[in-house]
Structure 1
Amino acid sequence: MNRNYFKSKLFLKYTWSYLFILLIPLIFTSIFIYENASQRLRSEIERSHLDQLTQAETIIDGRMKELSEIAVRISYDHRLASYLVHDPIHSGEAIEALDQYKATSSIIGELYLYFHKDDRIYSSEGMNHFDVFTDNLLFQNWDKNAVFKDLNDVKFPTMRPADIASNSKGRQQSMLAYLIPIKPNNPNPYGTVMYLIPKSELTSLIDSILGNYQGQTYILDNQGQILVDNRQGESLSDADNRSLFGHLTPGIQKHVLNGEEHSIVSVQSPVNGWTYVTIMPSKQFFSSVLHVRSFIIMLLIFVVAAGAAIALLLARMQYRPISTLVEFAASKSGKSLSRPGESRNELDRIRTTLIEYCARVDLQEPYARHHLLSMLLRFGSSRVQTTELREALDLRFDHSLHFVMVIGWIKSDKNSIIEHQEILELLTHMELPNLNGHGYGVELSQLGQIGVLICFDPDETTDEFEHKQLIVEALRSHLIESCDIQPVIGVGTNYSGADQLNQSYIEACSAYDLRVSSNTGSVNYFEKQSYTTDQTYWISNNTLLKLSQSLKQGNFEVASQMIQSAILSLQQSELSTLLIRCIGIDLLNTILKTASELENQKLIQEIAPHMIAGQSLDELERNLLHLAARLCEQVEQANQKEEQSLTDRMIAYIEAHFADNALSLESVASEFNLSPSHISRSFKDKMGVNFVQYIWQKRLEEVMHQLKTTDDALKDIIIRVGYVDAPNFIRKFKKETGYTPGQYRKLYAYAQ
């Protein structure tokens, strides 16, 4: 049976697989050949440079020995004795003698003779006062005082690094100064011979070492100080110089400089300990093996051409049993192998089915995750004992410390919904490997706020609070950089277990509320909310703040814990009864103040003045718990009423606009200034169906009504109810009612 195998993606995958099996060994073989050729060329170049460096070292050692011998002859030359040099009659002979010695070496730029503590210096050009000499010959890094000191104090032959020297005419030249005490090897020399050597005399000897390659050459003294350098292309930083030359050994080495591998060749003189170095980027070696690269390319072309034919034959043999099996299955099921828009890859059909199934499961995951995190914020772990669910949702609370952050921001007018979704997605799951922690974000019931649950292990070098500050600052910087907002953040206290996250959440809400009136971009830590000084026997501000915030949230569990802990502290104190009753007023005032902020005047009026007077601590505790329970219950009822009112207004809006084809979850969210995800969850919780299903049901009911009561064309009716895809509507109508719209209209007419 003839068939076009090339239309099958599975067949093409088999073909490519065999090609890869062929190409992978070929590529590795090619790389091996190329690397081997490059390494061999590199070794030859490095060995050549090593030989050239050795030759340069021999030549320069000979020149330095020649200069030392000249200094010895000067020290024993009677014409250059101190008393004759200073004698006006014989000084001319001394100058002539110095000129003769200068002419004996081609590398000498100038020759000077200096007697210790003398105010004059002699050269082949004549005698100069020392001040005149230093004024006419200025060194960039060798000042007058240093020159005088070195000429008088040098005990051993010393070569100074190349320095810029300026003469009286303003001409500048890079020179080396070579100081040899006379008499040489005498512990008490009486003078110094100074040679000025142009840098070019030494660099000319090493210019030919690099050849056509880019790199650098150096001559270092026995202290590792650079005497002469010759740079072609890149240069080294001071840090690289210190790192390299501080641990340099003779021979051939590899070293990474400026982020690239370099080849370093060095030799050391056995005479004076000087080191000669060449440094070249290794990548230059690989550009010299173009013939090897051409051979590899030709080999690849030939092998790929031959292998393609073999791969096609093997792929056909591999694919034929699968295609036969698929045809057999299709013939038995009555389904066509070639359906419009469907991939010809048979294995993809199975994968697509599995993906569709997983997508339906994943659709519910965000709702489950949001519910679980919301329960943790509200009740801690007391009502969330589903360890398996946490593992399934990949929620890990396995670190030693936990805390909660409440994040808000100033919303823009036009893009508030998109902005909210971006921030929520950014905070959904955060990994903080550098800070030993991670976090999970959850949308809060308060509009424009997101809660973040953070778990972390403290660093041994910092305390817990400092570590928490680093985490908060990292998250804040990430929000500013990614979303271009200035967040307002409230941060709760650290707790050792996830079951106390509701405590940290209440504290974070309290810290957030105190920061609302401040500038944007601020962070407020609950621990930093100050306590009143000398408050040893009074209830802490933090306890009162947590009590107030828990009442505002309607969280009686945390409110009761705050009241009970405060009463327990009073019971354990040794205060007088009068003082205890005065302190108890703080708790009552906190509840009354919170009720006033919530505009609960009825509860305030029911409080009698005798509530504190004459009561024991147990009675006071019961009364305060009763007040807190009533206030939390009323807050809960108000929240439910507000949520129900919001749902009713959304239903009324949908009733009025369901026939608008532009109606969507995003448009409703924009109308009510809410996030689409919040509306979606709230709508499904209240109505039992999701938003899309509800809109479809309304439009279906309206079409059914118009089919019964009008004779209008079906297409016009469908467009009037806001549905633009008539064929899709008819298919869904039949699936929902069992009839086509035409059949439904006839059925109703017959019933009439």
Structure 2
Amino acid sequence: MRNWRNSMFFKLFISYLVIFAIPLLILIGVFYYVNVVGYQREVAEANTAKLTQVRNQIDLELKSLREVIYHLSSQEEIYSTTDPMEREGLLIPQLVAYTEHYPFINDMMFYYRGDTRMYLSTGRYAYDTFENELKKDYAWTKAGFFRELNELSGPAAKRVEAKESGLSVQGSTIAFLFPVPYLETFPQGTVLFTINEDEFLSKFTNIMGDMKGHIFIYDQYYEPLVTYSDPGQAVSSEQLRLDLRKLKGTGVFQLESGGEPFVVSRMVSEELNWSYVIAVPSAVFYEQVYAMRAWIMAITIVLLVIGVFGALLFSSRSYRPVKSLLAYFAMTPHAPDPAEGKNEWEIIRHTFDSTLQKNEEMLIQMNAQRPFVKDQCLLTLLKGGKVDKTERDYLLKCSNVMMTGEAYFCMAITARAAEADRTFLEEELSSLLETIMFPGGWGYGVEISEERYTAVIVALQEAPEDHVQKRSDIAKNLIDTARKKAGVSLTIGIGKLYPDLDHIGSSYLEASAVLFDNQINDKKSVHLFDQMDNGEQQVHWYPTKEQALYIQSLKQGDEAIALEAVKALIEQMTVGTTSYLIVRCLCFDVVNHILKAINQLNAESFAGEIKELLKFNTLQEFQSGLEEFTVLFCKRVNELESSRRLERKNSIITYINEHFKESELSLEHIARQYGLSASYVSRFIKEETGVTFMDYVTSLRMHEAKLQLQRSDKLIQDIVLDIGYLNVPSFVRKFKTIEGVTPSQYRQIMGKP
């Protein structure tokens, strides 16, 4: 019996459910965002706007205090008279007028420095009387406050707490002190305004309504001036004040204090640099938002339940024709085996798929051969002078690669990516650069898996006048195309332009050399070999290009180009400087780069050869020793490459031989196993075995199938599953195509009943 999860009815049910659920969830999501999220944002913005109104209103009232101070400062007769009675006559009426004109001022006091009397709107008092009688309900510090009155040099504000024994119902008061005359170097007096804390809190109540939270006003030093906490709050204002110090800037913030989440609104006064802070529990602040969210979730659940019943009804009706057709196929003489398919539709479709599948397999085998010839041709061109011209022209003709132009150059291209994504991006890059077309020319790309980049050979119909600009434009267009189509950022190294294909190998080495020389340079994406020594901090005679080309040719094992690079390197040293010490330093730098190349290649130790190379007294001796070392090194690099290639071949072939029975075995699986790209593995197997990956695996499986047909009594179906096939008819067709008989006939021929 088929698994109910694979049945057509179940899939129809899931399809209808998805068709219903996706639009519903999208609609609910949009509705939720527009209403809940939007309303939540509106609540926060409205709260911020109200807090801004509170700030502006308080700032406006406090600004009027400065106007009073400016007016008092202009009354010169107050400061010039020495008669206390005359000063009292001048001051008291003005103080009364100020307190009447500005009702938010609780009281106003003038103190002439050095005096022991205070001037209030109600008269003149001795300081002791002022503190002990008039302000006895507040915690005035006699000595400290008196000293502050005499030493004040700038505006100040302070919170004066009410004594427990006093009239605490009025709350604390805020004292504002100003030196007068204002902005004078040596002020002669001090003016004190007192405003009840309730006056500030009333602004919040009038604008924001009943506040179920905490209110704070801080001065420019973040000292509290006004504090209020709703009696029902579980978190103390002291704990909350400590946590509020962590917030910076203005706006609406989320804060957790004492295990309870708060929504904090903060504004800063432009006039006084005061901070206005409101902290409300999130449950209170977003109370209506949470209620709306609960309703939306309930409606969503109800609609989903309705959708489930609707999906059951529609899937039942849609399944009836499929059920009837399956019953008809079951009554025919050629009824399909239920095991052939996973569900009803696949069982019905199996008869029609057999022929199509066979044709597709043949087409795949034909298409699989096409990329190998092209890749082999391009790799041959990159070898440059190592390849016979006749062989090269033959490969060009067979692979249908057009290399007819007046100028040629090579680009080495790699993708910037993390190591985890590199294999995937290399395959994307290889596919993107397989063939490129542009006005005036074209190019072909081939993956260089050992170096983890793609080489592109470009042919230009006409030699450009500005060859540097032309090559740069082609590279930049490639970068833009890769970014738009594949989302890949490329780094491109460009070799020199040559008039024929004989030097394309040199251009390839130059491109790879400049690419590796700038592999940590993230500021530029295009690097030309011609411009390697044009850096702002590069000494003009330092042989940068020659050295990079020499090291890269060593890594590639290209003896001819490496020896040419040695000559160019020595010539540049000779022309660049006449200092013997500098020449020795340059020689040692070349040796240092050689050591780095040896380390990168994981090659065997060249300690003895390096020691011999360093035993030079003249530049000619160094050149002679370097040429001998180059020949030896290139020989060993080629031997090492052959050894590694053989080792890789043996490893991959052994892996295939051991795992060919696994149905999940594929090019992608092997590529992941060895950290290579699937295209490279496919080309590698074709080059080393002479057949494609699929043909090689098929031969192993067929050989194993014949052995089991001869030596065991297993059912053919069991043998097919054991050797990695999932489709018995497909295996039977393939077996008959190769052997000329079916598996059953082969077993009979070999003497098995």
TM-score of the pair, normalised by structure 1 = 0.46
TM-score of the pair, normalised by structure 2 = 0.46
